[in-house]
Structure 1
Amino acid sequence: MRPSRRMLLAGAAATLAIRPVRAASQRVATLDWALLETLLAMGIVPVAAAELVLFRQVAVEPEVPARVADLGLRGLPNFEALARAEPDLIFNSAYYVAAEPKLRLVAPVETLSIYARGGRPYDRAEEAAIRIGAATGWPEAAQELIAVTRDGLAGHRATLAQHASRPLLVINLGDARHFRVFGPDSMFGEVIARLGLANAWTEPTSYAASAPIGLEALARFADATLVILPPVPPDAHRLLPQSAVWSALPSVRENRVLLLGSMNPFGGLPTAARFARLLTQALLQPEGAGFG
């Protein structure tokens, strides 16, 4: 029997989710979520990481084993808990560089920044995986993650060929009157390009999302499919259906609005894979991903 699209998507998700747990040559910890998800996707379980309750809600995957110690806030970690975890190496990013002097009192620090000016997040995510693999003694785990992610995107690209004619506008709602948009230099923008799709927003957004923009600006993208990333503020859920501006948008009138599952907006390769998978599912089955 020839597998259906749903079966193929489910298989790709399972491939990305299941990783053999590997014993790293060093006990590692991290403050950065992109590095945490990369470690877990490589089968390397850190002894400690930060804001794990929120990570499980926002990033969702990979699953964080219960034995990983929670260090509290990423920007203000619990150094006593970190010391008790006894890491041999701490992975950090430029976001939390202010903590490095204290981190180095516990263990050596290796800084890997996926999001930095002048770089491409997807390429930097691959580079981060390679450096993690080298530092932990599992270079083959990095190559496997890179290959599986690339293969997954290539498979989704083939599946979505029929959707390449309509551009996408990937946004996050700040409230019922404002949104932020992810440009071509963001991780989501790079994934869209790798899927063979067009990003309706062509201006750079400094590898992240734009500053808040008035909702009326969405009228400039009449042909685009709106792709909304959580979280959606409660007032937006409540007030947008009553908004004349929102209701007048062609994408809204024509049911071209998709709400994806939660994901880390500053993630690594696992986030790229999750975004591609959820976007593909939503485009193939839009009735199950509508906003409203």
Structure 2
Amino acid sequence: MLALAASALAYPSRLSATPLPRIAAIDWAMLETALAIGAVPIAATELIQFRQIAIEPEVPQSVTDLGLRGAPNMELLRIIAPDLILSSSFYEYRRESFERIAPVFSATIYQTGTPPFAPARDAMLALGQKLGLNDAARTYVAAAAEEIAAMRARVQNRIHRPVFLISIGDARHFRAFGGDSMFGDVLTRIGLSNAWTGTTSYSATAPVGIEALAGLPDADIVVIGPVPPEAREVLPRSPIWNALPAVRDKRVAMLDPIDHFGGLPAARRFVRLLGKAAPFLQANANG
């Protein structure tokens, strides 16, 4: 633990003309946000998982891993003694404990029933102002808007169907992302409609049987990774999965992993991967 703390303390915090605060990130969306504008934390949570699921922005190996997001190593956090802790409304119940160590910058991005893109944008701008990285934050926000606009232009003259945005739990169950997910919000912003119109709880449904996807046979399916290894092995030979019209007609896009509760970097990754693996973007009759 002491060795980890020492490596974190040794990491240079000067990424701009003015020294940046030494940051510890508890929440992944805020970790993404900080990295995207050039503020590398000295410590963050669940970095092995982050590198496998969120993937980007890349986290330098010198960043100390604080353990689980829901139960970070508070002793190590005290030893590291950051100047600022990045959190979110998900961890508000721990705010008092964090504030005994350092001031807390917390953002509310995900709320049931509220599209999260605008709150994620506002969180990035607010963090940029807090850290003196206003230009970097504005530039990143503008780039995200441009990518969404480019994708919207790409689909506006094409035939497209409603889209199920799902994550696979196992070979028989999925979770559907609604309009209060980053993926559902971005889907609407690029001009496509979400096939899932049911209720959600913090972005997605509880696990639903795969057969429910047959309820809207014209809808395409976008699977957002990661897909559990067992499901990846079983689905290709599952009679239920293969009977779905979208699967039968090859209207399924399998995307690489993306942070399901990410910030603007997750939104941009979603747009990029969707653009590369979107079989549902069918050309219109005029090509």
Q: TM-score range by the shorter chain?
A: 0.7 to 0.9
1:160-216 per-residue CA deviation (whole Å, 9 max, x = no partner) reads: 334452221111111111111011221101100111111111234234110111111
The secondary structure found in structure 2 opposite 1:45 is coil
Report the equivalent of 1:121.
116
CA distance 1:163–1:225, change in 2 (3 Å) = farther
Q: 1:104 to 1:140 in 2, by over 3 A?
A: same
- The structure 1 residue matched to 2:205, chosen from 210, 214, 233, is 210
Q: What's the offset of the Cα at 1:97?
A: 2.1
Partners of 1:234 and 1:37 in 2: CA distance: 26
Structure 1 pair 217–112 and aligned structure 2 pair: CA distance change class (3 A): same
| Closer, same or farther: CA 210–117 of 1 in aligned 2, 3 Å | closer
The residue matched to 1:106 in structure 2 has which SS?
A: coil
CA offset at residue 113 of structure 1?
1.7
The unaligned stretches of length 5 or more in structure 2 are 1-13, 282-287
How far apart are residue 33 of structure 1 and its match?
0.2
Counterpart of 1:100? 95
Aligned CA distance change for structure 1 residues 62 and 179 (closer, same or farther; 3 Å): same
* Counterpart residue number, 2:226: 231
The share of aligned pairs that are identical, in percent, is 48
Q: CA RMSD in A?
A: 2.0
Match of 2:170 in 1: 175
Does the 8 A contact of 1:227 with 1:257 survive in 2?
Answer: yes
**1:282 is matched with which residue?**
277
Q: Tell me the CA shift for residue 76 of structure 1.
A: 1.0
**In structure 1, what is the equivalent of residue 196 of structure 2?**
201
Query: Given the two structures, how large is their TM-score scaled by the length of structure 2?
Result: 0.87
Residue 114 of structure 1, CA deviation:
0.7
| TM-score, length-scaled by structure 1 | 0.86
Provide the rounded CA distance (Å) in 2 between the counterparts of 1:183 and 1:63: 27
| Counterpart pick for 2:69 among 66, 74, 81 | 74
Return 5+ residue gaps in structure 1 as ranges.
1-19, 287-292
Segment drifting more, 260-269 vs 184-193: 184-193
CA distance in 2, matches of 1:160, 1:41: 27
**The one of 242, 247, 259 aligned to 2:242:** 247
CA shift, 1:284, in A, is: 6.0
User: Does residue 148 of the first structure (1) align with residue 149 of the second (2)?
Assistant: no
User: Does the Cα contact within 8 Å between 1:185 and 1:204 map onto a contact in 2?
Assistant: no
CA distance in 2, matches of 1:24, 1:216: 55
Larger helix percent: 1
SS in 1 for 2:56: coil
Runs of 4+ in 1 over 4 A off after TM superposition: none
C-alpha contact 2:226 2:258 (8 A) present in aligned 1? no
Cα pair 1:184 1:203 within 8 Å, conserved: no
Q: Secondary structure at the match of 2:200?
A: coil
User: In 2, Cα distance between the equivalents of 1:35 and 1:231?
Assistant: 21
| 2:84 aligned with 1:89 | yes
Contact 1:224 1:251 in 2 (8 A): yes
- Aligned residue for 1:263? 258
The separation in 2 between residues aligned to 1:142 and 1:119, in whole angstroms, is 22
